[in-house]
Structure 1
Amino acid sequence: MADTVQFYMEDMIPEMRDLEQKGIFSKKEITSILKQRQKFEYALKRRIAKKADFLRYIEYEMNLEALRKKRRARMVVNTKKSISDYAGPRRIYFIFKRCLIKFKGDISIWLQYINYAKKTGASRTLGRIYAEAIQLHPTNEKLWILAAAWEWEENANIVAARVLLQRALRLNTTTESLWHEYFRLELVYIAKILARREILGIDVSLEDVEKDLLKDKEVDSDNMIKLPTVTGEEFSAFTKEDENSEEQAAAGKKATSKKGKAGKVRVALTEEKAERLKAEKNPVLRGEIAMVVYRNGIKEIPDSFSFRKGFLDIANSFIKPRPLQEDSIRVIYDSIDQDFKHMPEARALVARRPIDAYKVDEEGYAAGVADTVKAFWNICEEDVKMWEIFVENMEAEYQRTQEENLKLYFSKTIDRIFSSATKKKIHSEALFLHQVSWILATSDLSVEAISKKALAIVDKAVVQYPESAALVLQQIRLLRTLARSEQVARLPEIFALAQKSRHSESFDIWREYITFLRVAYREEDMSKEQVEEAFLEAIRITTTLLPDITEERAEIGLIKQNVGSWFLDWVNEVEGIEGVRRVYQSLMKKSLPDLTFFMACIKLEKRNSVDHPESKKVIAILYDKAICADEKNEDTYLSFLKYLNETGQIAEANKVLWKASKAVTNNDDFSQRYSEMLEGRWVEPEFGNTELNLDMDVDVEMQDEDNDEDETMSS
């Protein structure tokens, strides 16, 4: 190991001597660089290599190279390049290669390697990197897409980009992103050719078609769009040699071929072949290759609506020129309509076709809106999901457009949707929520009138959908905008029902409840004893909730973490630190608090006094209990160590550090974080205490009297 490191260090001598002679680094700086590199090299020679060591070494070399370049740029004399100008990037590449020998399966390292090669402009090296990465990870679609994008965008090589994506699809036939990117590539290729013709004002004449499709070499100009060369091989894909040479000779149109510098074939055009090359008749410029990609893609992935929609999104993302012809887009819509006719989202997409054909500011958009609305009314029928999608689409278009008449049209249409749904007794939780949100956002009534109008709808909705936490939460928030007497009259009953149902697992409802309790005490609607009793009951209920072992029940963890902390915050405001100690000591006897509860106690104790002997003793006990609650939590140890160092308890800090070294999962990472803490670079995290909104009134989205659409107030 030492011999290898010594070999690497000796190999650096010419580079270091050059840097010193040029005056880029001083002798002292070079000594420091060599010591640092030696330290990194020994780290890389461990029995079990660590990725972090390689990455730190690479980061150090990149920073060093950036510093060398800055100093080199300031030099006026002796600007001739020498070994020190090449040694830095070469070493970084060498470290990357050594890292990838050990961690060839780590995609993130390959991506960093690729990014560095792009940054340094190493085209040949980048090609080899892509080849090696793809060979090792043939099922990783991101690598294939990056390689194809590099060939097209940097090398202007459409053929190579196509070949890469075709190979990728042979190995990954069901990877949606590969089909989409191949489709996008073909459309971008067409769009660039059409855009160049449009910018240069070139008519689609026979000579111009030949020049575009058989051009040997790109002409660089500030007023031109760079396009890849179209070779004779590509040209032969959509043209054929005239089989009857005698007829050509008789007509004076004998075909000739000439080889350019790159060996590409230039084919003279007959009138018949030139006619085929016009943009409207040329299969390449009509998007036939892109449509072949689409047809093959849906054969491999026939049952995915999002996959089909992705093709449409790509096609509609082009403004001018549009590379895909109308008949091709119609094929995509027709296939979606035929294969997904029973899916509401698919029917809505087909109905949106007149709108999606134009941008908001284009001339045909207004006519498209009328056609789309008519199509939606025809397909809604009794399908409540279809009504929800109808509303969502109209609201989205209402937000997109800035034209006042169109906004008014969308507004009237949305109001008509809600009234029609009510008459037909078509209801759903989502439809009710949309209606309430729309009223709050657009009504020009007073805040109280808007709230009461929306509350009447929500009250009916809660009766129909009592299990909907979203509707109950909206009901609570609307009540909080009303007079205090109405809140006190209705909210306690709503909260009591919520705590006895599945709504007890809603974090937002618990936050509203705790806010209500604190405001009730502040406004003297409840006594201190009543609020404390309510808090204790809340802790009892949340303690009995089952653990958040599934993603759907993840909010339960937040509820358990915060309810106790909110209780302690309120007690601290009312009684001070003595009241806090009384409460948490009582709770620790009756239940098993979690880490967040203990950290909330510590936070309040620190806020009281960290230098008082009694506080020091109490804080140490609380930290011990917090560590017992989660022995592997590194942040708890670091928080404790930070407190002990700040208060001068060095002996205790050493004991805690020894205990942490035995408990944490990764001792090296913990040591690194501990060093950052000592240097003041570690930021102590918040342990789950979410802030409360203690304002009596909750703002409601509404317009002012001047109908300012942009002025909204969050509920």
Structure 2
Amino acid sequence: MEKVDYLLEQMLPELNDLKDKKIFNQDEIREIIKRRTAFERALVRRVGRKEDFLRYIEYELNLEELRKIRFNRQKNAHTKHSLSSFSLQRRILSLFDRATRKFKGDVGLWIQYSEVAKKQGAKKLVGKILASALLQHPTSPTLYVLLSSYELTENLSPTAARTLLQRGLRLVPNSVHLWTEYAKMELVWVERLRRRWDVLGVKDPEYEADQAAGRKAIMEGAIVKVVWANALEALPGKLELFHSFLTLFRTFPTPLRSELLGMVYTSLTDPKSELESKAESWVVLARRGLQDREYKVDESKEKEPLSGKDLIDAVKTMVDSFKQGVQALDGQEKDKLLEVFAEDLRRQQADVKDEGLSAYIQYHLSSLLKPPHTTPGIHASHIRHLLASPAPPPSAQILTFARKATKVFPSSPATWASRLSVEIQFSSADDEAELSSLGDLVAQAIPVGLQSTSPAEAADRTALWSIIAHYFSLLPSPAELHAQLHRLLSLSLRSSGTASSSLPTHTELLVLSLPLLHPSPASFFIDSEDIGPALSIKQRLDTYRTIKAKYLPTAPFYRAAFAHERSFPSSRVVLEHIYDAWRAGFNAPGDEGEVDCHMTWLMYLWGEGESKGVRECLKRVMSGTGNSTVGTAVAERWQSFLSEKEREQAEQEEASEASEDEDEESMEDLKV
């Protein structure tokens, strides 16, 4: 305890200053000493705990906030900063330093340390913290990205940033995120160099004679192209890499955009590249005309919708690319591409207002969907096309085609979803006989949905359960609706009990049933007025307790339930209940989705302005998950989230200042 007494003695000048400044009174000083004594004693245990450090840090952060509020309240022209103005900040950073020395293996703790130091304006310390963290965790892509960003923005050293990222890629060559950030850093450097040379007017003939070739290569993106080539070599055929680089090049403001996008598309069509999915590569190529935009100096972040000749050219490019892909592929890859082709054309036709372009799409869609069809997906697309056609055939013809599809593919959720959709559309909800006939069809479709366990059919199952839920909403009374729904859920649970592969199907059904079991004002399937008034908080809590007790809900259900509850006013208690049940369901260490669970709750608290709740949640996650990987991932995601929000806020402030300057100039013009 001698160490504790020594540390407390070191606090006396600070506490006396707080008392002399009348920021805290004598009783509050005693309470501070009491709390700090308890915290320090906890830290000197033989077996230290991370949560003790986090609890102590949280207390000091709250104390510093209170000190600032009181100091600003009594601030005047004669008020001066003194020892206590900085001692609390130093203490917080010192506690983080002690914590990271004791728990060097916790990446999340290091990131929290750097985040707090950044907020307190200790820019040099941020670099030292991240460098120390990287020494302990040389294979963490996030740390390389954070430290390189610090070198580029704070130290204005692209050389140091480049060296760091290159070192990270040597140690973690399979990180798509790291490769993308490296390319982004090089793009930032090229654009800064371009603007600098433009401002300096680098046009000296001697200069150009000596270094013309080098300047030209840099301005044409030679470095970025080398990064892409190395990334392809490190991650051959990985489509995630293509998507990541395409997203970067589409959004980064650079005159090189078209050339860099073309480079990626060339790699996609290279016969030597062994891609994970040839069909998906053709989808990317086909959609490029609709997603890519030419670079404009004054472009905004939001992409403007295509129109006129640009839209016509983009649709023609899409059709031609899809046709080439269909001819180049065979087997399941070809069938998959045909289904995507049909859906893209159908969606595009629904958005097009030009009659000539709509007729062009209609022609290709009709030729593509000519029977016979080889897959259930094409059958379903054909039915949707007939229903949305400008001149649809008679309802009897569509019904016949839909019924034939369920005979050809009797175990396909896609064909049954299409048939039920057509049957419901062409029937009357007021006719009891037709409603009963629909009930018989639903009874035939339910086993198809329950027996389907393939991940490839997940979207089709979702469509089937959605239509069945819509049928339930047509039932004349809420009691009958709930009885039918509970019977279906019980049947689904029994099916999942006999086959573990059926559990995802049961979860899908449970998620889609939520708006019926628990209607909200924003229900997707039904109008809540058809079922009854909105439920009270107690009734909503009882609903979730019943679901938990009877139907074995999993993480996807709780994720959907959380989003569903956001449509209710004053649902803080219910949301916290869902979060507690959600995180309690992760039994296996490192279970997928646990990070999403904590991030969902953190972002909700942040949006509600509950900074204390955010700190408590972070402390609990960092100390109580039982798995350091989860705590680290949450800390990294939270840091990225805050950084993004800071960037957005800075951009809004810049836009606001620019608007104010324009208003002032306008006023000056009016005065003149």
Which residue of structure 2 lines up, in the alignment, with residue 293 of structure 1? 227
Cα separation, 1, equivalents of 2:347 and 2:153: 34
**SS at 2:269 equivalent:** helix
**SS at 2:369 equivalent:** helix
- Describe the superposition over 1:113-136 as per-residue Cα deviations: whole angstroms up to 9, x where unpaired: 121122122122111111111111
Cα separation, 2, equivalents of 1:375 and 1:54: 59
Is it true that 1:343 corresponds to 2:294 in the alignment?
no
TM-superposed deviation, 1:105: 2.1
Task: Sort the Cα spacing of 1:15 and 1:186 in 2 relative to 1 into closer, same or farther, 3 A.
Answer: same
Cα separation, 1, equivalents of 2:288 and 2:462: 40
**SS at 2:217 equivalent:** coil
Task: Sort the Cα spacing of 1:11 and 1:540 in 2 relative to 1 into closer, same or farther, 3 A.
Answer: closer
* Higher relative contact order (CA closer than 8 Å, sequence separation 6+): 2
Task: Sort the Cα spacing of 1:150 and 1:430 in 2 relative to 1 into closer, same or farther, 3 A.
Answer: farther
- Describe the superposition over 1:123-150 as per-residue Cα deviations: whole angstroms up to 9, x where unpaired: 2211111111111111111111111111
Is it true that 1:495 corresponds to 2:431 in the alignment?
no
TM-superposed deviation, 1:296: 1.6
Could you tell me which amino acid in structure 1 is paired with residue 64 of structure 2?
E
Which residue of structure 1 lines up, in the alignment, with residue 412 of structure 2? 468
Is it true that 1:374 corresponds to 2:320 in the alignment?
yes
Which residue of structure 2 lines up, in the alignment, with residue 322 of structure 1? 255
TM-score, scaled to structure 1:
0.60
- Describe the superposition over 1:195-250 as per-residue Cα deviations: whole angstroms up to 9, x where unpaired: 5666x5x766228xxxxxxxxxxxxxxxxxxxxxxxxxxxxxxxxxxxxxxxxxxx
Could you tell me which amino acid in structure 2 is paired with residue 554 of structure 1?
P
Which residue of structure 1 lines up, in the alignment, with residue 210 of structure 2? 273
Cα separation, 1, equivalents of 2:225 and 2:511: 55
Which residue of structure 1 lines up, in the alignment, with residue 603 of structure 2? none
TM-superposed deviation, 1:456: 5.9
Q: Tell me the percent identity.
A: 27
In structure 2, runs of 5+ residues without a counterpart are: 295-303, 453-460, 520-530, 532-545, 554-583, 587-620, 626-672
2:337 to 386, 397, 407: 386
TM-superposed deviation, 1:537: 6.8
- Describe the superposition over 1:529-567 as per-residue Cα deviations: whole angstroms up to 9, x where unpaired: x997x7897577446324388576234368699999999
- Describe the superposition over 1:55-103 as per-residue Cα deviations: whole angstroms up to 9, x where unpaired: 2222221122122222222311443322111111111112212222333
TM-superposed deviation, 1:474: 4.8
Task: Sort the Cα spacing of 1:483 and 1:123 in 2 relative to 1 into closer, same or farther, 3 A.
Answer: same
TM-superposed deviation, 1:8: 2.2
Which residue of structure 2 lines up, in the alignment, with residue 596 of structure 1? 549
Could you tell me which amino acid in structure 1 is paired with residue 443 of structure 2?
A
Task: Sort the Cα spacing of 1:549 and 1:11 in 2 relative to 1 into closer, same or farther, 3 A.
Answer: farther
In structure 1, runs of 5+ residues without a counterpart are: 208-268, 574-592, 601-631, 635-665, 671-715
- Describe the superposition over 1:329-357 as per-residue Cα deviations: whole angstroms up to 9, x where unpaired: 54433222112588122233334455555
**SS at 1:554 equivalent:** helix
Asked whether the equivalents of residues 15 and 29 of structure 2 are also in contact (C-alpha less than 8 Å), the reply is yes
Asked whether the equivalents of residues 316 and 357 of structure 1 are also in contact (C-alpha less than 8 Å), the reply is yes
Could you tell me which amino acid in structure 1 is paired with residue 212 of structure 2?
E
TM-superposed deviation, 1:307: 1.6
Cα separation, 2, equivalents of 1:353 and 1:500: 40
**SS at 1:284 equivalent:** helix
Task: Sort the Cα spacing of 1:96 and 1:519 in 2 relative to 1 into closer, same or farther, 3 A.
Answer: same
Which residue of structure 2 lines up, in the alignment, with residue 168 of structure 1? 168
2:503 to 537, 542, 553: 553
- Pairwise CA RMSD: 4.6
Which residue of structure 2 lines up, in the alignment, with residue 334 of structure 1? 266
TM-superposed deviation, 1:302: 1.6
Task: Sort the Cα spacing of 1:559 and 1:142 in 2 relative to 1 into closer, same or farther, 3 A.
Answer: same
Asked whether the equivalents of residues 138 and 168 of structure 1 are also in contact (C-alpha less than 8 Å), the reply is yes
Is it true that 1:155 corresponds to 2:155 in the alignment?
yes
Name the structure where helix makes up a greater proportion of residues: 2
Is it true that 1:544 corresponds to 2:494 in the alignment?
yes
Matched residue count: 505
Task: Sort the Cα spacing of 1:540 and 1:22 in 2 relative to 1 into closer, same or farther, 3 A.
Answer: closer
Asked whether the equivalents of residues 16 and 30 of structure 1 are also in contact (C-alpha less than 8 Å), the reply is yes
Within a 5 Å distance, the mapping from 1:312-711 to structure 2 comes to 312-319=246-253, 321-323=254-256, 326=259, 329-338=261-270, 339-340=273-274, 343-358=278-293, 360=304, 365-366=310-311, 367-381=313-327, 383-394=334-345, 404-405=353-354, 408=355, 411-423=358-370, 425-434=372-381, 458-481=402-425, 482-484=427-429, 485=431, 487-501=434-448, 503=450, 520=475, 522=477, 541-542=491-492, 544-547=494-497, 550=500, 553-556=503-506, 596-597=549-550
Asked whether the equivalents of residues 384 and 427 of structure 1 are also in contact (C-alpha less than 8 Å), the reply is yes
Larger radius of gyration: 1
